[in-house]
């Protein structure tokens, strides 16, 4: 069993020659986690979530693989899914990979430090002006953000679901054992592109 029934899904992709990723945290609700569960979760993500992401990024972007598994135990219960023909849809050169659209996840956490963010690389140059996304592009990113609020429910095994959360591993520099998860309330895409800085915290939902 994972620590506090917590799991993580990572999307690995390329923007031109740069390798990027973002992570989402999940808490398992009902159901039983088996060796087949992570493969079913990835299959569901590819069918129901990935198309919306691809609509928001450049054709210069290619999703390489997706991983899903529990936190804090052996990777034997994790899964790795290679992607084929999972390219961005928007025609045009992508901005440098460190210039990202940002989704603020928003949580019930009392401290704003635990309101996770996702950085999305691969925004085309011509759907922004001076670092501000056009209204149609902002809507495309928001459409993907809206999906992140939904529980991830694989088609099998039955009655298994994973609620999206932001996972906090540290508080004031001290590692939490087990980690703590905060429910996501209202993912919001921001209009302003931001330069992704080097991550200094270990919280899922932040890439």
Backbone angles phi and psi of 40, in degrees to 5:
-70, -35
Q: Where does residue 31 rank: exposed (0-12), middle (13-18), buried (19+ CB within 10 A)?
A: middle
Which residues share a beta bridge with 7? 26, 70
Per-residue pLDDT, 116: 84
pLDDT at 4: 64
pLDDT at 3: 55
Nearest to 207 by CA among 112, 98, 132, 110: 98
What is the spatial distance between Cα 168 and Cα 175, in angstroms, rounded to a whole number?
9
pLDDT digits (tens, 9 = 90+) for 64-100: 999 999 886 655 567 878 787 789 999 999 999 999 9
């Amino acid at each position: 069993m994972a620590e506090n029934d917590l799991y993580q899904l990572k999307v690995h992709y390329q923007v031109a020659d740069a390798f990027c990723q973002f992570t989402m945290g999940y808490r398992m609700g009902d159901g039983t986690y088996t060796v087949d569960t992570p493969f079913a979760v990835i299959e569901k993500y590819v069918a129901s979530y990935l198309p919306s992401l691809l609509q928001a990024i450049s054709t210069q972007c290619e999703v390489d693989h997706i991983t899903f598994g529990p936190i804090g135990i052996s990777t034997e219960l994790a899964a790795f899914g290679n992607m084929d023909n999972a390219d961005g849809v928007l025609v045009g050169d992508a901005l440098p990979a460190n210039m990202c659209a940002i989704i603020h996840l928003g949580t019930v956490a009392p401290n704003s430090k635990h309101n996770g963010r996702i950085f999305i690389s691969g925004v085309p140059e011509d759907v922004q002006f001076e670092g501000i996304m056009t209204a149609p592009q902002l809507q495309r990113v928001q459409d993907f953000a809206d999906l992140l609020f939904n529980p991830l429910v694989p088609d099998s095994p039955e009655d298994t679901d994973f609620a999206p959360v932001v996972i906090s591993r540290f508080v004031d520099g001290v590692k939490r054992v087990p980690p703590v998860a905060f429910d996501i309330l209202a993912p919001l895409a921001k209009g302003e592109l931001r330069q992704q800085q080097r991550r200094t915290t270990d919280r899922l939902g932040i890439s």
